[in-house]
Structure 1
Amino acid sequence: MSGVVLTGHGGLDQLEYRHDLPVPEPKAGEVLIKVGASAINNTDINTRIGWYSKAVQSGTDTGATQGFSDVDAGNATWSGAALSFPRVQGADCCGEIIAVGAGVDAARIGERVLVRPMHPSCEHAATYAFITFGSERDGGYAQYTTAPAREAFAIQSDLTNAQLASFPCAYSTAEGMLEKAVVDANDRVLITGASGGVGSAAVQLAKRRGAYVIAICGAEKKAQVEALGADEVIARDAPLAQALDSESVSVVVDLVAGGQWPQLLDVLQRGGRYVASGAIAGPIVELDVRTLYLKDLSLFGSTWQPRQVFANLIRYIEAGEIKPQVAARFDLADIQQAQAVFLEKKYVGKLVLTP
């Protein structure tokens, strides 16, 4: 089959499009999926460049094209273990089940499915023993892939494969963050990086919960983010103290971190909640612990998502309660160009890849 393999941590040149990859065989409890579409996420970039290594202390963009020279490959993944190369990346996958392994009902053949990007390493694994699709196992950057049958969720929708492929990673990440922060209609929610895949998903999903949404993004993307449902849009580089009153938001959904981070806690009200699932502007921040405890703030990291988060996402899609945000489509063979465009951050939503 044709597909893209990551040959090592580093620059775009580590991504190789090949035509001689073996079609994977579904093991017991697995399904074989003909991939209809995948998409690009920050996690695909971060995994390629080894950004998850604690040896890296700068933002994603500083090494996104050429990679980093100081990566410790032994802990440069979600799981904290070394990545196995070559690896087929691609956290997103929409496709059709065309074969099943032992123990899987053959009636599932022909189902259109979305793969849950992050799932337990086995059916009875502890909560935090997880696998990320396209990291700890091969993902969607190929014509065919396998997944545990329990993690291939049937989807009934008139949306195209490309549109559906824009949902799994970004929207489940965003919904997981909102779930962890217990966002509801009483909240004023501030979302950083609101024009990206997870950020634009968070805008829609927070509005679905009835929250008042304040979005931070590039000024040129204001109209598009407002169209997603944002009640207010703040330019990315604007000082928050000038744009917002002190203690005026109840929840911060942060995907950026970096130098602006202390301002996020300043605008949180007493008893406010902060939840993070990204740090593209830089993972090392300065915390005044007095702000944390004197304001009774709660800080959450959000990676793992309960199974119900993805099940809910399927329900939202089928009910038409959230809309796909596909900014552009690329052939999988053009993966290097597609990731280069992704890194320019000039779009709102997702870039989709079709094999």
Structure 2
Amino acid sequence: MKAVVTTGNGGYDRLEYRDVPVPVPGPGEVLLKVLAAGVNNTEINTRLGWYSSGVTTDTAATSDGPPEERADGGWNAATPFPLIQGTDCCGRVVQAAPDADQTLIGRRVLVRPCMRTRGFDHMDTVWMASDFDGAFAQYVKVPATEVFSVDCDWSDAELASVPCAYGTAENMLQRAGLRAGERVLVSGASGGVGSATVQLAARRGAEVIAQTSPGKMELLYELGASRCIARADDPEKVLGAGSIDLVVDNVAGDGFPGRLAVLRRGGRLVSSGAIAGPVVPLDMRELYLHDRQVIGTTAWDETVFPDLIGYVERGEIRPLVARTYPLHQIVTAQRDFLAKTHVGKFVLIPPGV
């Protein structure tokens, strides 16, 4: 089969489009024909070794990659290169191991990429495309327990926009306990996770304020934002101190202090990323003197993915695909992704689909 193999930490030259063997499902696994695979920050970050403590800049600033392998550059320490990346997968089950559910064969499914292999009482995670081969290929094998059939009229590309972005967003909102009537600020609102968060927060009945560049505001209003502010704005100056119940911040960087200071006493800030840079200025007095909470999220809670499938099937959220590319154009897709001129998701389509 054709696949994009990431050979190690580094630049785009580490992405090789080549022939590899079709995977054989082991005990408890199913084989999927990949119909579409979304593009995410995490694939670029993993290739760059950005998760390493030795990297302190944003993804775009390190896009040429570090000159050496990063022993702590993946989600769970070292990345097992060579690796087929691709965290988002919409696929069709074509084969199941004898001990797996045979009724899955023929179904169109989404893969839950964040796997809690020790159970949901433990926070340990195993991630598709970071810890084992993912969906940037014509076929992928996954545990049968991590595939979820979906009954809807969305296209394959639209479904492939869901797993990582919407799973991350839903997990943040569940963990932070967002309630109807609360006021939430979403930074980086035009990206995959940001636009998903706007929809999912509005679905809960929250008042959503989206922070983005001016040219992207109109679409965010359509997605459910009540108000938009510019990316360059200081939220405390524009919205007022103590005016926000929850900040959903996957941007971090130099603007972090303003997003923390805008929270009311007892307010919460939840994060699962740091696209503008992982090292932030923090005045601890802004945290403890105002009884604020900062919540980090990586491991998805048990209800997150089944809930998302329900939202899709009931038409409670809408897909947001900015553009599709053939799989072999992954470098173009990632370059365009880092330009950050789009709203929503880029999706790769394998050959033969």
TM-score scaled to structure 2, two decimals?
0.97
8 Å contact from structure 1 (residues 23, 144) kept in 2: yes
8 Å contact from structure 2 (residues 5, 82) kept in 1: yes
Matches of 1:289 and 1:346 in 2, distance apart? 34
8 Å contact from structure 2 (residues 9, 69) kept in 1: no
Report matched runs for 1:1-355 at 5 Å: 1-18=1-18, 20-64=19-63, 66-69=64-67, 73-80=70-77, 82-120=78-116, 122=117, 124=119, 127-355=122-350
> In the superposition, relative to structure 1, how do residues 91 and 135 fare at CA in structure 2: closer, same or farther (>3 Å)?
same
Matches of 2:118 and 2:259 in 1, distance apart? 38
Q: Describe the superposition over 1:36-90 as per-residue Cα deviations: whole angstroms up to 9, x where unpaired.
A: 00010111111110000000011111012x1134x6611111112x111110000
Q: Describe the superposition over 1:312-338 as per-residue Cα deviations: whole angstroms up to 9, x where unpaired.
A: 000000000000000000000100001
8 Å contact from structure 1 (residues 214, 234) kept in 2: yes
Cα displacement (A) at 1:123: 5.7
Matches of 1:230 and 1:268 in 2, distance apart? 18
Q: Describe the superposition over 1:203-252 as per-residue Cα deviations: whole angstroms up to 9, x where unpaired.
A: 00000000000011111111111111111111101222331111100000
| Equivalent residue letter for 2:294 | L
8 Å contact from structure 2 (residues 120, 302) kept in 1: no
Secondary structure of 1:176's aligned partner? helix
Matches of 1:58 and 1:338 in 2, distance apart? 22
Secondary structure of 1:74's aligned partner? coil
Question: Structure 1 stretches of 5 or more lacking a match?
Answer: none
Cα displacement (A) at 1:125: 7.7
> In the superposition, relative to structure 1, how do residues 242 and 110 fare at CA in structure 2: closer, same or farther (>3 Å)?
same
Secondary structure of 1:234's aligned partner? strand
> In the superposition, relative to structure 1, how do residues 338 and 107 fare at CA in structure 2: closer, same or farther (>3 Å)?
same
**Number of corresponding residues:** 350
TM-score scaled to structure 1, two decimals?
0.96
Q: Describe the superposition over 1:123-146 as per-residue Cα deviations: whole angstroms up to 9, x where unpaired.
A: 648622211111101111000001
Matches of 1:132 and 1:193 in 2, distance apart? 24
Matches of 2:100 and 2:265 in 1, distance apart? 51
Matches of 1:130 and 1:294 in 2, distance apart? 34
Identity %: 49
Matches of 1:308 and 1:138 in 2, distance apart? 25
Secondary structure of 1:264's aligned partner? helix
Question: Structure 2 stretches of 5 or more lacking a match?
Answer: none
8 Å contact from structure 2 (residues 236, 259) kept in 1: no
Matches of 1:5 and 1:327 in 2, distance apart? 24
Q: Describe the superposition over 1:267-311 as per-residue Cα deviations: whole angstroms up to 9, x where unpaired.
A: 100000000111011111111111111100011001111121001
Secondary structure of 1:75's aligned partner? coil
Matches of 2:113 and 2:47 in 1, distance apart? 17
8 Å contact from structure 1 (residues 88, 134) kept in 2: yes
Secondary structure of 2:153's aligned partner? coil
| Equivalent residue letter for 2:10 | G
Cα displacement (A) at 1:96: 0.4
C-alpha RMSD over aligned residues: 1.1
8 Å contact from structure 2 (residues 101, 144) kept in 1: no
> In the superposition, relative to structure 1, how do residues 123 and 150 fare at CA in structure 2: closer, same or farther (>3 Å)?
farther
Matches of 2:138 and 2:88 in 1, distance apart? 13
Secondary structure of 2:100's aligned partner? coil
8 Å contact from structure 1 (residues 27, 102) kept in 2: no
